[in-house]
Amino acid sequence: MAQSDFEMTLTHIAEKLEITIPVQGWKRVEFLLPFLEQMRQEGAIVLIKFDGEKSKVYGTEPYTVSVIGAFMGEDFFRIDSFSLEEALIHTITHYTQVKWKHLL
């Protein structure tokens, strides 16, 4: 999915969940927090890892985001990224496809 597709999906889901959409776009973590809070309220476990050793020693992606929970079953999700915002957007989009697909 292209970045604009992710943003369009998040915009659509935000409207359905009555989450205020920022005028500035999706490039700031605080704009994604309402989605993460909604996921938490539904029983999801969202893990965000800041890995300085991994990036410093190996030069790899310093951010890992995972979403797990009993209802996710085998649809758990994990992503490593150089951008926390990008990792969160991909995580929320995956959750949308598993849990909020009726809102699409």
Per-residue confidence of the chain (104 residues) as pLDDT tens digits?
Answer: 555 777 788 888 888 998 887 666 666 788 899 999 999 999 999 999 999 888 888 888 999 999 998 888 888 899 999 999 999 999 999 999 999 999 88
pTM of the predicted structure, to 2 decimals: 0.82
DSSP 16: H
Supply the pLDDT for residue 57. Answer: 84
CB 51 within 8 A of CB 64: yes
CB pairs under 8 A, 24+ apart, for 60-63?
63/87
Q: How many alpha carbons fall within 13 Å on the CB side of residue 50?
A: 2
Q: What is the pLDDT, as a whole number, of residue 3?
A: 57
Q: How far is CA 79 from each of CA 85, 87, 88, 95, rounded to the nearest angstrom? A: 12, 6, 9, 12
The per-residue pLDDT for 88 is 95
